[in-house]
Structure 1
Amino acid sequence: MKNRSIGVEDLELETSKTDKTSETSEDQIENRRSSFRVFYKKYSTLLYILTIFYSVAITLWLVLDEIFYLINFGIIGTSIGLGFGLWPVFKRSKKHIARRISQVLVGGYMFFGLGFGLIYLIWGYIQPENMQLEGFWFWLLAGQFAAGVIHYSIAKIFGPTLFGRGWCGWTCWTAAILDLLPWKKSPGRKKLWGHLRYVLFILSTLLVIILVFVFNYTLSSTTGILDFTGSYSGPDLKSSIFQIHEFWWFFIGNLFYFAVGIALAIVLKDNRAFCKYVCPIVPLMKVGSRASIMKIAVDTEKCIQCGACEKACPMDIKILTYADKSSRVTSTECIQCMECISVCPKSAIKETFRFDIGFKEYLKLKEAS
């Protein structure tokens, strides 16, 4: 009996150890799952952005058999990813620095690397590319799927269906300069001024059409696109950049954008006035961003209606109005800058990923003086 009792006790002890081991294993699995959920919640936007850009980089490289696209979109995706990766790490008051880093890296690369053509020094030559709207139309009418056409297709036509107007908030070199100006708190929008950008979009398009079809500014023209698609190498490498017509289109166009943007900011006391009223690229982006998978959403259970998000929004969006209607922020004016997320005292605002379409624009208008 004694031996039998000892055996039963040993069995019970062994069973107890097994149960504890099982519980420990289950706890470890649950801890891992919990850690993964926390990581995913924190870096979901980063993973989303990297997946998009690396997929584009690899696909274009393999399909077009050009290593340039792997390098180009790899640089852009990694630079944007760095910004989104640092954003959760920085303290609330410093989060804007992450976006500034992305603006400087991507904007700088696209302005100097692509616009000035310096990225091609890897292959021993310089080839400027006009990354403005006119460059897109020139290449499109020339029947060339290159340079500005690829840039606009990915960043400003199809891209907005994936990440809205994130280009405007995280990568635009014009906005990167304008964001340094002192008028960060928007006084509200002027009601009818937003129509100006549609007028400029039409005028810019007509300019290219007239040059191509009336003045024969085509690929076969000795004074047209042929010259500004040329690449230069050899002893005149440094000076030849200024001989390429495409460079002048890009350079002068940007000087005009910067001058108008800064002037508007000073007059209207609004850093983003250029984006709201004048930028001719916005009409293209608004179409895709209407159906963007990536949009801001407010958790109404956490929200205390303090209005901090609306005060911080540089684009004058009435975020709380969307929340009251149980809707994500479907405004095509949202530039995904995430300033509203940064200032929310209850962490009630976040980026979300799903499909929906909204047609209402709830914007704060400037009071008549």
Structure 2
Amino acid sequence: MTAMKFIVIPTLLGLGFGLLLHAITGTWFFPWFFTFIGFLIGLGLHLELIVGMKGYGRIAVLWVFTLFFWLFLFIYMEENMQYTQFIYCLYSGLYYGAFIHVLAAKIIGPLFFGRGFCGWGCWNASAFDTLGLKRKVKPIKTKLVYLKYFIALLWALFTILIAVNYFQQGFDRLDLIIIENILIYTLGLGLGYVFGHRFYCRTICPYAALMSLISRLSLLKIEGNPNKCIDCGICENVCPMGIPIRSFIKKGVRISNGECIMCLTCVRACPKGVLKPTFKLPSLKEVFSK
């Protein structure tokens, strides 16, 4: 059971959330959909931590999610999951599609798994990380990480003042999905060549602005053993999000930085096995630690 817990726990959580949505909406789509998502994430964790696929398990899961989102949700169902559609749902009072996606992956999910969606399920990040595996660029470590909060506000205002008109005038949904995602892929990959393959996720993504705040309360975080740490700095050198990991280890608290995407790159890179993912209630010291 110990070896299978990484598969069982996310699968059961997905099933539970799906059944809750079914009870509210009466739609059987949600139980199988969220069970599938939970199973995929659990399988990826199992491949990474038990089988030892060293990064490729997570990348494989990312691409399965990407194909699922594009082929089923985007092209077949024409459901837009980007930030503009979420703002439009709030503006119009139509709580479906993007609203449910944000509720599950961006609000409730981070309470359990932090920004795990960013590391394991984002259809844009699959391209960013695949590029990153081939060409690694050291991420910048500045206060530009706060830029995403300003962008989230501007993006919301743009949607309400301008983009809503496109929906009201019958703008083709699939065209909007394709255009938005092409812009994000182009921007993210272009900036990735210069600043590191996750620069978009750190400084521009409006969803990250919300998730980075909530994820401080997450049950799942990376924990370090200060007694085993030799302060070599390898964990920080490989972190795609530029997190000061050693400062958390020295304080004796889990990594509560809102930029952590639970990619486990630091866990795999540590030569002394100092780091490991743990699932427990966060302490107050941990939540407010920087």
Q: Do residues 247 (structure 1) and 174 (structure 2) align? A: yes
Other structure's SS at 1:205 match: helix
Alpha-carbon displacement from aligned partner over 1:105-159 (angstroms, at most 9, x marks no partner): 112212221111x2xxxxxxxx301100011111122212211000001101221
Structure 1 unaligned residues grouped into runs of 5+: 1-38, 119-126, 225-243, 362-369
C-alpha change, 1:184 and 1:309, in structure 2 (3 Å) is farther
Q: 2: distance between equivalents of 1:250 and 1:342?
A: 35
C-alpha change, 1:113 and 1:271, in structure 2 (3 Å) is same
The answer to whether the 8 Å contact 1:184/1:314 transfers is no
How far does residue 200 in structure 1 lie from its aligned partner after superposition? Answer: 2.0
Q: 2: distance between equivalents of 1:339 and 1:168?
A: 14
Q: Which residue is 2:154 aligned to?
A: 203
Q: 1: distance between equivalents of 2:142 and 2:233?
A: 22
How far does residue 212 in structure 1 lie from its aligned partner after superposition? Answer: 7.5
Q: 1: distance between equivalents of 2:135 and 2:235?
A: 14
Q: Which residue is 2:269 aligned to?
A: 343
How far does residue 104 in structure 1 lie from its aligned partner after superposition? Answer: 0.9
Q: Which of 320, 324, 333 pairs up with 2:250?
A: 324
Q: Which of 36, 52, 56 pairs up with 1:97?
A: 56
Q: 1: distance between equivalents of 2:269 and 2:4?
A: 19
Q: Which residue is 2:203 aligned to?
A: 277
Alpha-carbon displacement from aligned partner over 1:51-89 (angstroms, at most 9, x marks no partner): 221111222223322121123212222222221122234
Deviates more, 1:334-343 or 1:345-354: 345-354
Q: Which amino acid aligns with 1:246?
A: R
How far does residue 43 in structure 1 lie from its aligned partner after superposition? Answer: 4.4
Q: Which of 204, 214, 221 pairs up with 1:288?
A: 214
The answer to whether the 8 Å contact 1:45/1:351 transfers is no
Q: 2: distance between equivalents of 1:350 and 1:190?
A: 23
Q: Do residues 85 (structure 1) and 46 (structure 2) align? A: yes
The answer to whether the 8 Å contact 1:157/1:288 transfers is yes
Other structure's SS at 1:306 match: coil
The answer to whether the 8 Å contact 1:300/1:323 transfers is yes
Q: 2: distance between equivalents of 1:331 and 1:195?
A: 13
**1:228-267 maps to which residues of 2 (within 5 A)?**
245-267=172-194
Q: Which residue is 2:113 aligned to?
A: 163
C-alpha change, 1:154 and 1:249, in structure 2 (3 Å) is same
Q: Which residue is 2:102 aligned to?
A: 152
The answer to whether the 8 Å contact 1:264/1:273 transfers is yes
Identity, in percent, stands at: 31
C-alpha change, 1:191 and 1:345, in structure 2 (3 Å) is closer
How far does residue 352 in structure 1 lie from its aligned partner after superposition? Answer: 1.1
Q: Which amino acid aligns with 1:264?
A: L
Q: 1: distance between equivalents of 2:41 and 2:203?
A: 26
Other structure's SS at 1:303 match: coil
Q: 1: distance between equivalents of 2:231 and 2:5?
A: 26
Q: Which residue is 1:35 aligned to?
A: none
Q: Which residue is 2:8 aligned to?
A: 47
The answer to whether the 8 Å contact 1:83/1:98 transfers is yes
The answer to whether the 8 Å contact 2:80/2:177 transfers is yes
Q: Which has the larger radius of gyration?
A: 1
| TM-score for both structures, normalised by structure 1 | 0.72
The answer to whether the 8 Å contact 1:80/1:170 transfers is yes
Q: 1: distance between equivalents of 2:220 and 2:40?
A: 19
| TM-score for both structures, normalised by structure 2 | 0.90
Aligned positions, number: 286
Structure 2 unaligned residues grouped into runs of 5+: none
Q: Which residue is 2:74 aligned to?
A: 115
Q: Do residues 74 (structure 1) and 35 (structure 2) align? A: yes
Q: Which residue is 1:191 aligned to?
A: 142
The answer to whether the 8 Å contact 1:186/1:315 transfers is no
C-alpha change, 1:325 and 1:184, in structure 2 (3 Å) is farther
Q: Which residue is 1:21 aligned to?
A: none
Other structure's SS at 1:181 match: helix
Q: Which of 48, 57, 61 pairs up with 2:22?
A: 61
Q: 2: distance between equivalents of 1:99 and 1:141?
A: 35
Q: Do residues 352 (structure 1) and 255 (structure 2) align? A: no
The answer to whether the 8 Å contact 1:161/1:291 transfers is yes
C-alpha change, 1:61 and 1:82, in structure 2 (3 Å) is same
Other structure's SS at 2:111 match: helix
